[in-house]
Amino acid sequence: MTLVYNILKLKNRRAELRNKQTPQEVLLWSRLRREQLGLKFRRQHSIGGYIADFYCPKKKLIIEIDGSQHFKKDTEEYDKVRSDYFKGINIKVFRFTNAEINTNMNGVLLKIQSNL
């Protein structure tokens, strides 16, 4: 299967998401950027028709930050389909809640590091 990264039709949406990051995305990005964990991460990176919050290509690892909207039934179903797609192409997905980012950043970073 040929994967399509950062397809042109999602370019504007990726830029919009980068410009309107949540406070939790800004906080986590400040700890992931510039290879602070030893590997390069990209933010708002598209794979197929989906846009990942953060992606480490070398380790095939996606990090998603879930706000309250992710706990609604229809969104949970969409997230499952999306995660199944990534799993099917051998990309691991870690999900963290806004609360985890706000209250346990060290634990979040330890989990990420232990899987790099």
Q: What percent of the chain has pLDDT over 90?
A: 65
Mean pLDDT of 38-65: 94
* Average pLDDT rounded to a whole number, residues 33-38: 95
pLDDT value, residue 12: 85
HEC string for the chain: CCCCECCHHHHHHHHHHHHCCCHHHHHHHHHHHHHCCCCCCEEEEEECCEEEEEEECCCCEEEEEECHHHHCHHHHHHHHHHHHHHHHCCCEEEEEEHHHHHHCHHHHHHHHHHCC
CATH architecture of 8-114: 3-Layer(aba) Sandwich (3.40)
Sheet harboring 92-97: ordered strands across? Answer: 42-47, 50-56, 61-66, 92-97
What is residue 3's predicted lDDT score, i.e. its pLDDT? 64
